[in-house]
Chains A and B, each alone.
Chain A
Amino acid sequence: MLRYFKPVIFLACLAPLANLAWRGFHDELGANPIEAITHSTGTCTLVFLLITLSVTPLRKLTRQYWLINLRRMFGLFAFFYGCLHLTTYVWLDKFFDVHQMLADIAKRRFITAGLAGFVLMIPLALTSTKSWIRRLGGKRWQALHRLIYLSAAAGVIHYIWLVKADLRSPLRYAFVLLVLLGYRIVASIVSRTKAEAEVTPATKIEVSES
């Protein structure tokens, strides 16, 4: 089943880019097209980070365990849109002016946060293959990939810090992120108490036997 759906989802993930290209060619990006491109690629990066983070809660809550097969693709799309977003900044905003970019990174905290969010995605994209999971071992791979929590948080902070006054939109992303991270905290507490509950009787038996 997944074999057929995955390409469909892949294409759906490309839809925002197709839409952007279409509007670009038809002069529908408004008065400030470069700003529109910057905002739209940035939004996509955040959205895909949040989609990636929602896979685990979603598959556990709905027991649709096959969803795990889509997680890497979503994550890589987050990285892909992140690359486009960064390219827009480096090329269309700064025109490869390294000096100015370095000054930006040092001085502008929203740039610092955004770049941190992107850099944190790089090792995740590089080690996203099956062979890397094998090479690192499941546990270590999983620990490394928890960096996505930091990356998404940096992305949301990047957005909050660049807004002038109206925080509604970035706070929406912050809310979703908090829900997704909150789920993990609750889930880990629940599973730990369960594990303890299972361990305790076993220990008791051992004690009674000895």
Chain B
Amino acid sequence: MLIKKAPDIRSSEVTPRSLYLNRRKFLTVVTGAAVAVGTGLRQFINPTTVAQASNKIDGLKKSPFSTTETITPEKDVTHYNNYYEFSTQKEEPADLAKNFRTRPWKVKIDGLVDKKQELDVDTIIKMAPPEERIYRHRCVEGWSIVVPWIGFSLSELIKRVNPQSKAKFVEFTTLLDPNQMPGQRRAVLDWPYVEGLRMDEAMHPLALLCFGMYGEDLPNQDGAPLRIVLPWKYGFKSAKAIVHIRFTDRQPLNTWNISAPSEYGFYSNVNPTVDHPRWSQAKERRLGEFFKRPTLMFNGYADQVASLYSGMDLKKNF
């Protein structure tokens, strides 16, 4: 019997095996922990992005269209961007767009217009005195911000290029440059991004041609060097980094409508009574606020713009 027990005592075998097992278990644990913490760690490693050289814009005119609501902190407006040309993650455009070249920058103007031309962005910016317009900005996803944009009415540009009477719509195209815009390397959307407005919408004084915010040049991640801002429409209508403005007699396509026609219409006016098929539009979360607030018809600009849509079925023309 004593002899039979002998193999158990052979410590040379037992010890290494248990050590080996321990090691296995240890590795499993460490891997598990790493996976669990992984997502969190990324947030720490991500370096906070340095703001690019920003120029103050002088001689800003105040605007009667400005709201007196609390302005959203600039850091939120520059680090929470739906800018799929750079990334589908809202925190990423701030970093990915920091080397985006915004000069030289040409804007092609053509279609049903008397003065077909290519304009330098700096020529456009000098067409009219810059105004500060503090607008509410409501994203189709259900959040909102208040931004002191800088620019002037889009009509100032349109008037100067003499659109023909046949022109019923305007189409805006964003730059297509996958080298600079990494998000365009994948077909998340049908690039380049296009948006459109009816002529009377584009001529409305609230429609802003924008090149600055918070007293300075527009940051790259917010649509530099030139974008439009349409405060009564969901944010995605406000095209960024515009390189082409085309006047047409047919309703232009718009990118999100191409992507999901049942969810994003041509008009996309802010409307608390017409839900997005997948979520309610009745309320919104203003960044920085704890409680949600009710969404207002035309984002609170009904007095100014409701007449543009009188007689239209807004449920059909969402």
Min CB distance, B119 to chain A, in Å?
Answer: 32
Say if the beta carbon of A23 comes within 8 Å of chain B.
Answer: yes
| Tally of chain A residues near chain B (CB < 8 A) | 39
Among B37, B40, B80, B143, find the residue whose CB has the most chain A CB atoms closer than 10 A.
B40
Segment touching A, from B17-25, B225-233, B237-245, B297-305:
B17-25
Q: Does residue B95 face the partner (Cβ distance < 8 Å to A)?
A: no
A108–B28 touching, CB < 8 Å? no
> Is the pair A28, B43 in contact by a Cβ cutoff of 8 Å?
yes
Given the known interface contacts A16-B36, A20-B40, A32-B285, the answer about A165 and B84 at a Cβ–Cβ threshold of 8 Å is yes
The reply to whether A47 and B35 contact each other, CB–CB distance below 8 Å, is yes
Do A8 and B29 touch across chains, with their CB atoms under 8 A apart? yes
Q: How many A-B residue pairs have CB under 8 A?
A: 93
A-B contact pairs, 6 of them (CB 8 A): A12-B29, A12-B33, A15-B37, A43-B39, A100-B280, A166-B84
Q: Which of B8-60 contact A (CB under 8 A)?
A: 21-22, 24-26, 28-29, 32-33, 35-37, 39-41, 43
- Residues 17-49 of A at the B interface (beta carbon under 8 Å): 19-20, 23, 28, 30-32, 34-35, 40, 43, 47
Q: How far is the CA of A165 from the CA of B84 in the complex (A)?
A: 10
Q: Tell me what chain A mostly uses at the interface: helix, strand, loop, or mixed.
A: helix
Contact B43–A108 (Cβ < 8 Å): no
Q: What residues of A have a CB within 8 angstroms of the CB of B24 in the complex?
A: 64
A143 to chain B, nearest CB (A): 28
> Is B88 within 8 A of A166, CB to CB?
yes
Q: For chain B residues 56-85, which have a beta carbon within 8 Å of chain A?
A: 75-77, 79-80, 84
Interchain CA distance A32-B89 in the complex, whole Å: 13
Closest residue on chain A to residue B48 by CB atoms? A28
Contact of A95 among B80, B143, B259, B291 (CB under 8 A): B291
Give the distance to chain B from A146, nearest Cβ to Cβ, in Å. Answer: 24
A35: B residues at CB distance < 8 A: 143, 285
Report B-chain residues with C-beta under 8 Å of the C-beta of A67: 28
Bound together, the chains give a CA A15 to CA B30 distance in angstroms of: 13
Give every chain A residue within 8 A of B285 (Cβ-Cβ): 32, 34-35
Q: How far apart are B194's CB and chain A's nearest CB, in angstroms?
A: 15
The residue in chain B whose Cβ has the minimal distance to the Cβ of A14 is B36
Q: Is the CB of A103 within 8 A of B280?
A: yes
Within 8 A of B (CB), among A95-128: 95, 100, 103-104, 107-110
A163 CB, nearest partner CB in chain B, Å: 9
Contact A19–B80 (Cβ < 8 Å): no
Known contacts A5-B25, A95-B291; is-contact A40 B39 (Cβ 8 Å): yes
Is the pair A164, B37 in contact by a Cβ cutoff of 8 Å?
Answer: no
